[in-house]
C-alpha cells in the first residue's frame, strides 16, 4: 500500500509535499533573495516554550517556518526551545514537542537548540550592555515597577536606581548571579525611555532573580533572562534571517531591534503574522492545560483536543494538517477559520488513503427468512472500490442473521428516505438485495427489535438479472462472524462558535456535553481482527475511523471517529424538520438563502 500512497501524493514526510502557496512573508523572502540581502541564506526557526503540548495553531507556525526552509534553496529551520522560565518548563514537553513536529513531517537535522544553552552568553551580553551604560540594576519590587511604568496614556517615571554607575551596576549584577540577594529583590533593566509610547520600551526587565531549579541547568543559575532579551539574542547567535512570530509581538519588535543594535550584533528581521483561530475551539496552552488538569478531557492527547497529539490519536494524517495549514493562507488580520476547512482537508486525504470496511455502529438485527440456516458465504469485497487493485480485496462472511444500522430503517419513511422500510428493497453492500417483510417490536416499549426479511438469491454481487434497480445500498455485518467493538464518536468541545470571546469563567459553561459519545455495542467485520494500533479506515457510509492507540487491544477493539463522511441525507432530514417547524412544506429555491441557511456557525 505504501507505493500507492506515494502515487497519490500522500506522505507523512513534508519533504514530499509541494511548495506552499505564496504569502506576504514569502514575498519578502523572495525579495531578499533577489537582492541578496542575507547573502543567499534563508534561516528560520520554530521557538516553542516547553510548557505545554503543541496545538494546531503551532502547526501553522511550524508549516510556515519549516515550509519556508524546505522551499528555498539552502533553507534551514532550527528547532529552538525558548526555555527561560524554570517554573513552567519540563522535559516531558520537550519530548512531546519533538515527537509532534516529527509526526507532522518536519526535520531539524542537527539544528536543535535550547535558549538555556545560551545562558552563559546571554549573561555576557548583559554585562556588555551594562558596560555600555544601557542597562542598570533596579531595586524596585515588581509592584513599584508596575506603578512607575505609567499607563497607556501617561508616561512612566524614572527609577531612583536608574543613574547608578557602570561599576556599581556591574558589581550588583554579578552579585545577583552569585546569589547574594533574595528572589525578587532586584532586577536588571534596560535603560531606554520611561516615556516611550511603546510601553515595552519603558526600561524593560531583562533579568530576574529566581531560586528555581531549571529542568536543564538545574541549580546552576538563580538569575534568569526574560523573553525579550533572550529571543532576539538567540536569533542573532544562530544567524536567523527571518524571525517569524505572531502579531502580539509586534509591539515588542522595537525592543528586539534595540537590544541587537545596542550590542552591535547580527540582526535578523522579525516579521509578524496572525495566529490561527478556529471556530468552536480554544487554542491557548493555558486553557488546554486546565482542561487536562481539571480532568475535563482524557489528557493532552484526548482526541477532542486541538493538540497535535490529540489529532494524531484521533486519526488525522499529518499530511491533512499540512494541507490545511497551506490552505488557510497567511495574513496579519484577525481571523476565525471554520473547522469545516480542516475537515475538508481531512476527508480529501483520507479518501485517497483509507481502506473501506463495514462496521455497524448501532446494530439492528436482521433475520433473512429464506436464507438457509447454518449457511455461510464468503463474499469478496474491495478495500478501495474506486480502484480495487490499489488495495486489494478481503472476504466478508454472509449468513442468515445480520446486523444493519438502526438509522438505515424507518418504519414510516420520510419522503426522500431511500433505505429500508416495511416492504422496501435495498442492496446489501457487496452482497444481495434484501426486502423487509415485517418488523418485530418490543411489546412494552414499541422499540424496533428485529427485522424479518427475505433476500433474492439471484442478486448475488449486487445486480438483479431482471434489471430492476434499488435506490439504496446499506452496509451490514454477519451477526455470528462480526466482532464487537467500541466506537467513540467525537464532536466539538465547545458549543459556541467563538468560545474565545467568552469570559474565562464562562468557558466551562459552554462545553458541549455531547463532545464524546461511546458506542459499546458496535459490530465490525471480521477482517478488522488484526487491525493495528493507529490504523485508519473508512467505515463505509459512516466516516473515517482509526484504531485507538491507547485503549484498543486484540480482542477488545476501540475505534475513534476521525471525521464523518459528508452526509447529504442528514441535510435533507434537517431541512425537512425545519420546514415542518416553520409550517412550510419545504425550503424552496430562492427562499431561505438570505438567512444563511445551513451555515455551520452563528454570528458573533
Task: Choose, by CB under 7 A, the member of 151, 445, 520, 604 that binds RNA.
Answer: 151
Nearer to RNA, 132 or 211 (CB): 211
Nearer to RNA, 228 or 548 (CB): 228
Shortest separation between residue 419's beta carbon and RNA, angstroms:
5
Site string for RNA, 306-345 (x = CB under 7 A): ---------------------xxxxxxxxxxxx-xx-xx-
Contact 515, 488 (CB under 8 A): no
Task: Choose, by CB under 7 A, the member of 210, 362, 365, 452 that binds RNA.
Answer: 210
Task: Choose, by CB under 7 A, the member of 45, 242, 541, 561 that binds RNA.
Answer: 541
Kindly state whether residue 111 participates in binding RNA, applying the rule CB under 7 A: no
User: CB-based burial of residue 334 (10 Å sphere; 0-12 exposed, 13-18 middle, 19+ buried)?
Assistant: exposed
Site string for RNA, 493-532 (x = CB under 7 A): ----------------------------------------
Interior angle at CA 365, CA 364 and CA 366, nearest 5 = 115
Task: Choose, by CB under 7 A, the member of 249, 377, 516, 578 that binds RNA.
Answer: 249
What residues numbered 357-386 form the site for RNA, per CB under 7 A? Answer: 385-386
What residues numbered 164-183 form the site for RNA, per CB under 7 A? Answer: 183
Kindly state whether residue 429 participates in binding RNA, applying the rule CB under 7 A: yes
- Cβ neighbours for 235, distance < 8 A, ≥ 6 positions apart: 45, 243, 268, 270
What residues numbered 181-200 form the site for RNA, per CB under 7 A? Answer: 183-187, 197-200
* Dihedral angle of Cα 297, 303, 308, 312, to the nearest 10 degrees: 150
DSSP string, 481-513: T-EEEEEEEE--SBSSS-GGGS-GGGGGGGB-T
Shortest separation between residue 559's beta carbon and RNA, angstroms:
16
Shortest separation between residue 82's beta carbon and RNA, angstroms:
3
Contact 277, 283 (CB under 8 A): yes
DSSP string, 250-306: GGGHHHHHHHHHHTT---PEEEEEPPP-BTT----HHHHHHHHHTTSSSSTT-TTS-
What residues numbered 266-305 form the site for RNA, per CB under 7 A? Answer: 274
Shortest separation between residue 363's beta carbon and RNA, angstroms:
17
Kindly state whether residue 252 participates in binding RNA, applying the rule CB under 7 A: yes
Shortest separation between residue 190's beta carbon and RNA, angstroms:
11
What residues numbered 457-486 form the site for RNA, per CB under 7 A? Answer: 461-463, 472-474
Shortest separation between residue 198's beta carbon and RNA, angstroms:
5
Contact 528, 537 (CB under 8 A): yes
299 CB-side CA count, 13 A? 6
DSSP string, 554-594: TTBEEEEEEEEPP-HHHHHHHHHHHHHHTT-SS--SSTTGG
What residues numbered 41-60 form the site for RNA, per CB under 7 A? Answer: 47, 49
Amino acid at each position: 500500500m505504501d507505493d500507492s500512497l506515494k502515487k497519490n501524493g500522500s506522505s507523512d514526510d513534508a519533504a514530499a509535499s509541494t511548495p506552499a502557496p505564496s504569502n506576504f512573508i514569502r514575498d519578502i523572502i523572495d525579495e531578499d533573495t533577489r537582492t541578496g540581502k542575507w547573502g543567499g541564506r534563508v534561516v528560520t526557526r520554530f521557538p516553542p516554550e516547553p510548557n505545554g503540548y503543541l496545538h494546531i495553531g503551532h502547526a501553522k507556525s511550524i508549516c510556515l517556518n519549516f515550509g519556508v526552509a524546505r522551499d528555498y534553496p539552502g533553507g534551514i529551520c532550527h528547532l529552538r526551545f525558548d526555555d527561560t522560565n524554570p517554573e513552567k518548563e519540563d522535559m516531558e514537553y520537550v519530548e512531546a514537542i519533538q515527537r509532534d513536529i516529527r509526526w507532522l513531517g518536519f526535520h531539524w537535522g542537527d539544528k536543535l537548540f535550547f535558549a538555556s544553552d545560551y545562558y552563559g552568553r546571554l549573561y555576557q551580553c548583559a554585562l556588555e550592555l551594562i558596560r555600555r551604560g544601557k542597562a542598570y540594576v533596579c531595586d524596585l519590587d515588581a509592584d513599584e515597577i508596575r506603578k512607575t511604568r505609567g499607563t497607556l496614556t501617561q508616561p512612566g517615571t524614572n527609577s531612583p536606581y536608574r543613574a547608578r554607575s557602570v561599576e556599581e551596576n556591574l558589581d550588583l549584577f554579578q552579585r545577583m548571579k552569585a546569589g547574594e540577594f533574595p528572589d525578587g529583590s532586584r532586577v536588571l533593566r534596560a535603560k531606554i525611555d520611561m516615556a516611550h509610547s511603546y510601553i515595552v520600551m519603558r526600561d524593560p526587565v531583562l533579568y530576574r532573580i529566581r531560586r528555581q531549579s531549571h529542568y536543564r541547568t538545574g541549580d546552576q543559575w538563580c538569575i534568569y533572562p526574560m523573553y525579550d532579551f533572550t529571543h532576539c539574542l538567540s536569533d542573532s547567535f544562530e544567524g536567523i534571517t527571518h524571525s517569524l512570530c505572531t502579531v502580539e509581538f509586534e509591539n515588542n519588535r522595537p525592543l528586539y531591534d534595540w537590544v541587537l543594535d545596542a550590542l552591535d550584533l547580527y540582526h535578523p528581521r522579525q516579521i509578524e503574522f496572525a495566529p490561527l483561530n478556529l471556530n468552536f475551539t480554544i487554542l491557548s496552552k493555558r486553557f488546554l492545560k486546565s482542561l487536562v488538569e481539571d480532568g475535563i478531557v482524557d489528557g493532552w492527547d484526548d482526541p477532542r483536543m486541538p493538540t497535535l497529539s490529540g489529532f494524531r490519536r484521533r486519526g488525522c494524517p499529518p499530511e491533512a494538517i499540512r494541507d490545511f495549514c497551506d490552505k488557510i493562507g497567511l495574513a496579519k488580520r484577525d481571523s476565525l477559520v471554520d473547522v469545516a476547512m480542516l475537515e475538508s482537508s481531512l476527508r480529501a486525504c483520507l479518501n485517497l488513503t483509507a481502506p473501506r470496511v463495514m462496521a455497524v455502529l448501532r446494530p439492528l438485527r436482521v433475520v433473512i427468512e429464506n436464507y438457509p440456516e447454518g449457511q455461510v458465504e464468503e463474499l469478496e469485497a474491495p478495500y478501495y472500490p474506486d480502484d480495487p487493485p490499489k488495495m486489494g480485496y478481503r472476504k466478508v462472511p454472509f449468513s442468515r442473521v445480520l446486523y444493519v444500522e438502526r438509522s438505515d430503517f424507518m418504519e414510516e419513511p420520510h419522503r426522500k428516505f431511500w433505505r429500508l422500510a416495511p416492504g422496501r428493497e435495498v442492496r446489501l453492500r457487496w452482497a444481495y438485495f434484501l426486502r423487509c417483510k415485517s418488523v418485530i417490536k418490543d411489546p412494552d416499549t414499541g422499540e424496533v427489535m428485529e427485522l424479518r426479511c427475505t433476500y433474492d438469491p439471484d442478486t448475488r454481487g449486487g445486480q438483479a438479472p431482471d434489471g430492476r434497480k434499488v435506490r439504496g445500498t446499506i452496509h451490514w455485518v454477519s451477526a455470528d462472524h462480526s466482532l464487537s467493538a467500541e466506537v467513540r464518536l467525537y464532536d466539538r468541545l465547545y458549543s459556541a462558535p467563538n468560545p474565545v470571546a467568552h469570559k474565562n469563567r464562562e468557558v466551562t459553561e459552554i462545553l458541549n456535553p455531547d463532545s464524546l459519545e461511546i458506542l459499546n455495542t458496535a459490530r465490525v467485520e471480521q477482517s478488522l481482527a488484526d487491525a493495528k494500533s493507529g490504523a485508519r479506515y473508512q467505515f463505509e457510509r459512516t466516516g473515517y475511523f482509526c484504531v485507538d492507540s491507547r485503549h484498543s487491544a486484540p480482542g477488545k477493539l476501540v475505534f475513534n471517529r476521525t471525521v464523518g463522511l459528508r452526509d447529504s441525507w442528514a441535510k435533507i432530514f434537517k431541512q425537512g424538520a425545519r420546514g415542518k417547524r416553520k409550517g412550510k412544506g419545504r425550503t424552496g429555491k430562492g427562499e431561505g438563502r438570505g438567512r444563511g441557511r445551513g451555515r455551520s456557525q452563528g454570528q458573533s
